[in-house]
Amino acid sequence: MLDLRQVSKTYRVGAFGGRRLHAVRGVDFSVRPGEVVSLIGESGSGKSTIGKMVLRLISASSGTIAFEGADIAGLRGHARTKEYYSRVQGVFQDPFSCFNPIFPADRVFELVRAEYAGAVSQAHWRARVEDALTTVGLDPAQVLGKFPHQLSGGQLQRLLIARALLLDIRMLVADEIISMLDASTRIDVLNLLGDLKARGLGILFITHDLSLGNYISDTAVILRRGRVVERGATSAAFSAPAHPYTRRLLASVPQLHTSWQQADARLAQEGEGECPGCAAGGRPGEHGPVDLADDHAVGCYTAA
């Protein structure tokens, strides 16, 4: 459904744009309907930049991003863009700053109606709003007409997801949507994404938290400095991480029942290992994604 081919983004930085910053370099992956793909990486890995490019908030410097076969860079004119946004929507990290504090929070629904569904009758629209709210697990009577400060972060974040669902979307870009939420409500929002996936929605889940990425996603894409280090089915990438970087990253994740010392001991026992991609014929230390198995690839850029 969504296909990224050799997508790169270069920023000009410094005085007069003299220096170039390669935020994303040659990234390939795709998202199918009903699939959650998580982009996992540390800060500066380019994960949010990819999300913004998919949402057309910024344009790609090179490469193509195709949605249902059509290159999104080629969408010209208001009507075409609007059509794209009625299929692809985003939800972002901070729910508190997404609302205008002087209006009731459900005004976001009215804005969607004004922009996309002007012809729908009031009663019909109201039914759609209530339906979307029920889907995200909110009681319409409890949230409609409330101001943002009267609602919790979890409720606000779910309102934003409900807003995206009002349109008949196929693809949701979720950029760190639960990092601002409390632990006890976090999991409910994650479960909600899981339920939406079951209804055929494709989700691009951007996170820095490996355990969250592991919980929800079908495919994991591990990024480092704008490049894909490892890509594969979540079960493979997490239970048998191939690239030394992924292994080290996993060993640093704080876990409830494993101490860092135990994780280190395991790493030492298994050995950090060499990149299997280099052994499988890639140019040592500077190869792009090399397939190890079906749906599991590693890239290596240690030499660069």
Using CB under 8 A, list all residues that contact another protein: 42-43, 152-154, 182-188, 190-191, 194, 208, 210-212, 214-216, 234-235, 238-239, 248-250, 252-257, 259-260
Output Rg (C-alpha) for the chain, integer angstroms: 21
Q: Which is nearer to another protein, 122 or 261 (CB)?
A: 261
For the bound state, the minimum distance from the C-beta of residue 22 to another protein, rounded and expressed in Å, comes to: 18
Residue placing its CB nearer to another protein in the complex, 59 or 150: 150
Comparison of 85 and 238: residue with beta carbon closer to another protein? 238
Spell out the residues 6+ positions from residue 292 whose beta carbon is closer than 8 angstroms to its own.
232, 242, 276, 277, 280, 298
Whole-number minimum distance, CB 107 to another protein, in Å?
23
Smaller CB distance to another protein: residue 115 or 272? 272
Instruction: Report the nearest approach of another protein to the CB of residue 40 (Å).
Output: 10
User: Shortest gap between Cβ of 277 and another protein (angstroms)?
Assistant: 22
Of residues 141 and 183, the one with the C-beta less far from another protein: 183
